[in-house]
Amino acid sequence: MADMLSSGLSGLLAYRRALDVIGHNIANADTPGYSRQRVELGARPPQLLGGGYVGNGVQIVGIERMYDEYLTSEVWASTSAHSRYQTYYTLGSRIDNLLADPDAGLAPTLEDFFAAVHGLANDPTSHAARQVVLSQAQSLVDRFHHLDQRLTDMAEGMNDQLLLAINDINSIARSIAGLNEDIVKAMGAAGGAPPNDLLDKRDALIGKLAQYVDVRTARQDDGSVNVFIGKGQALVLGKQAATLSLDTGADSAGQPEIYYSYASGVSTPITKSMSGGAVGGIMEFRAQVLEPARKYLGELAITLATEFNAQHAKGMDLNGNLGGEFFKVPADPMGGAAAIELLIHDTREIAAAAPIRSLADFANSGNATISAGEVLDASDPNLFDTVVIEFIDANTYSINSAGSYAYTSGGNIDINGWRVKISGTPQAGDKFTVESNAGGVNDNRNALLLAGLQTAKTMVGGTTDFQGAYGQMVADVGIKTRQADINRMAQEQRLQQAEADRSELSGVNLDEEAANLLRFQQAYQAAAQVVAVSHQLFQTLLQSFWR
């Protein structure tokens, strides 16, 4: 009877504990990272009595944490991958919208600027048309500055994000190290029984870490976990955590460097080995999109300024001077879009005209005509000298009454840095003059050539124009952003699947807990009944002796 009582009591204790665990599960049904727990029951060792071994009741073998290491590490891996593409995509869609915005992108100001140059070609004497060229040129310069500023701001913002991430990583690493210590102690105290809720807490922290970087873990026999990041750098070893630090260089938009130091040892740069997570996403976006876009924009500014200046220098302004530097040419593509400037502010200094003009003498008797002429080399010191081409006979001519040159109709005649073509049949004594175009205010030859630069294939190795090159950059950013979006969605699926898989094993199902609640409640009641019966039996026995 004593055995019956003790068996009943053991049941009461065991089911009471099982109901406690169900209560704990129900309470934590919505706790992130919680793994449901289950009481493992086992029969107590039997007792050898007269007739053989008699059962001795139930005991709690352990409280099991429903957990699978592989499923959990899959959640971590997909968290890292998803966070990486999510970060990349979020950053990408910001720059993506900026570049193609009909109001904020480069394309509209580029169109307006060249439209103004066309306006100048239509009316080169107009002060208003010249003013429009200057103000549109300033708008174009401002737009280059604005775009570079926005990209720089983004770089700065990303560095702030990095700094926050690194601080968070450090604090998570310290917490994991602290938990390692607690877990080792707790397991020691319990003779090896794991402190399930501490393990969950540590796993949740590792999961949070995985949002920032790729992590790998190694479980130790004493219950602690070692955490590695990058290319095998130990972030946590037992109860010791490493420290990361960020150096953004001289300016806050500069190239950041992440340093790693363990146990107050030397700091070593590990920027290149950081992969996955938000940190990996930021670094990748920076290297693949932001920096190239900034550099490309700078190259565009350099080519535009160089080409425009070169053509402008071949023209003549309203003061009769050769065209001066129109734009300041940036020295370095990186940040070049911020360095382009408008250098001409006086409308008279826009060189719409060509510096030379050609004339046929009124007294010419042949039918030969001379082309308007073009400038090959504006730096020729004799560019403005008056040159008379006089025909000795129909096939030869002299230059300034000297020499004798063979004439070919339509052939190039290159003198003093300019080129003209005479075509037709000249007669002896026919004269053609090339002279300075001083006073040629109505000439638009250079303005036409400047306007033509809009569609000239000067970019990307001579394959496309400014707009086309800008378009390629927009496309490149768009494609990368789209790729990141596709990857992000794929990784989101993977993450959801991994979480579903883990929760299939570890998550709390309230219906299941309700069923178990009923089951253990009944078992508890039955065990209590056993105690009651054993009590009655004892009473029966006592009364039979008393009587």
Partner 1 sequence: MRVSTSQMHETSVSAMLDQQARLNKTMLQMTTGRRILTPSDDPPGSVQVLNINQEIELTKQYQKNANIARTALVQEEDTLVGVINVLQRARELAVRGNNDALGPDSRKGIALEVRELLDTLMGLANTTDTNGNHIFAGYQSAATPFEYDAVNQEYVYNGDQGQRLLQIGPERRIADGDPGSDVFMRIPGSGNNMFEILDTLASSLEANTPDITTLGDLDAALTHVTEIRARIGSRINAIDGQEEVNDAYMMDLEITRSDIADLDYAKAISSFNQQMIALQAAQRTYVQVQGLSLFNFI
Q: Show contacts with partner 1 in window 107-146 (CB under 8 A).
A: 107, 110-111, 114-115, 118, 121-123, 125-126
Using CB under 8 A as the binding rule, the residues of this chain from 244 to 303 that contact partner 1 are: none
Return the amino acid letter for 169: I
Q: How far is the CB of 359 from partner 1 (least distance, A)?
A: 5
Of the pair 261, 423, the CB lying nearest partner 1 is at: 423
* Residue 71 interacting with partner 1 (CB under 8 A): no
DSSP 459: B
Rule CB under 8 A: choose which of 30, 51, 52, 70 binds partner 1.
Answer: 30
**Coil, helix or strand for 237?**
strand
Q: How far is the CB of 127 from partner 1 (least distance, A)?
A: 10
Using CB under 8 A as the binding rule, the residues of this chain from 418 to 477 that contact partner 1 are: 437, 439-445, 448, 451-452, 454-455, 467-468, 470-472, 474-477
Of the pair 169, 370, the CB lying nearest partner 1 is at: 370
Q: Both ends of the chain: CA-CA distance in Å?
A: 21
Q: How far is the CB of 459 from partner 1 (least distance, A)?
A: 13
Using CB under 8 A as the binding rule, the residues of this chain from 472 to 501 that contact partner 1 are: 472, 474-479, 481-482, 485, 496, 499-500
Residue 487 sits at the vertex; the CA angle it makes with 149 and 200, to the nearest 5 degrees, is 100
Q: How far is the CB of 315 from partner 1 (least distance, A)?
A: 12
Q: How far is the CB of 491 from partner 1 (least distance, A)?
A: 14
DSSP string spanning 102-149?
A: TTTSSHHHHHHHHHHHHHHHH-TT-HHHHHHHHHHHHHHHHHHHHHHH
Q: Please, which contacts does 531-536 make with residues 24 or more away whose CB atoms are closer than 8 Å?
A: 531/5, 531/8, 531/9, 531/12, 533/4, 533/8, 534/1, 534/4, 534/5, 534/8, 535/5
Using CB under 8 A as the binding rule, the residues of this chain from 319 to 378 that contact partner 1 are: 353, 357-360, 362, 372
Rule CB under 8 A: choose which of 92, 230, 277, 281 binds partner 1.
Answer: 92
Q: What is the CA radius of gyration of the chain?
A: 43
Rule CB under 8 A: choose which of 515, 526, 537, 542 binds partner 1.
Answer: 515
Count of CB atoms situated within 10 Å of the CB of 141: 22
Using CB under 8 A as the binding rule, the residues of this chain from 176 to 215 that contact partner 1 are: none
Q: Do the Cβ atoms of 9 and 39 come closer than 8 Å? A: no
Rule CB under 8 A: choose which of 1, 27, 29, 164 binds partner 1.
Answer: 29
- Counting residues that bind partner 1 (by CB under 8 A) gives 71
Helix boundaries (H) for 335-417: 336-339
